[in-house]
Amino acid sequence: MERYVIHACPDRMWYVEGFLVPSLLEQGISRDDILIWNDEGRKGNLWAAMECFEYCGKHDGGCWHLQDDVIISSTFAERTKAADKQIMCGFCHVSFEKNDGRSVNRIGEVESKHMWSSFPCIYIPNWLARDFATWFYKKAMYRQEYVMFLHEKKHDDAFWRDFINEEHPYDTVINVVPSLIDHVDWLLGGSVINTMRGTNCRSYHWEEEELIFQLKEKLRQKGFGNRILF
């Protein structure tokens, strides 16, 4: 089973194949350890994600799950090798954590209720991915409070939080600092699934802004400068 999973959509494959995967390879990660889960059938973010978690749940070990619009830190490969049996959050949303009481400063091993909204970069043991998919298909998708989420075909991260709060309220997770990735959809034409979002979804604990400038230049050099929003 691959150790790194990139959740992708067809509109973002140009970045995944041209920039994200090469950045993983440059740090010594084997291509055999990278799985691109591309929503080729355009089922929607939620359904594609749940199918991916169900697939992961059939294998031992665990996976780092990345979204298709992130940039990795210069020490990403080295630091992600440490993941083993525990949820690890490699991203801390600069706005969400401040607004809903999940403090940006709760770092290291914390109670699951303080888990960051980290779906751009999160390590999930495969047995837990399996249980999440089972909970979704057998319980959550039949609940009235999730009707709109299902209709919109997104909010996989919200389902994840509810699953952990309901099924694993006493587990602990690790909130990783500095951030392992930053979210760069604002450099890639904007969010694909949240087109109305008015603010950039940056990481609070990102410490390598020079990598953002380097990515901007690479995008320009390869002819994608017209996608940049800044």
Q: What is the residue-level pLDDT of the chain in tens, covering all 230 positions?
A: 889 999 999 999 999 999 999 999 999 999 999 999 999 999 999 999 999 999 999 999 999 999 999 999 999 999 998 777 899 999 998 765 555 555 788 899 999 999 999 999 999 999 999 999 999 999 999 999 999 999 999 999 999 999 999 999 999 999 999 999 999 998 998 655 544 444 568 899 999 999 999 999 999 888 875 555 44
CB 9 within 8 A of CB 37: no
Between the CA of residue 39 and those of 11, 49, 133, 154, 159, what are the distances in Å? 10, 9, 17, 13, 19
Q: Where do the structural domains in the chain lie, given as residue ranges?
A: 4-227
Tokens of 171: 């587990």
* Domain 4-227 belongs in CATH node 1.20.58: no
Token couple for 177:
């600092």
User: Amino acid identity, residue 7?
Assistant: H
Q: Which amino acid is at 220?
A: R
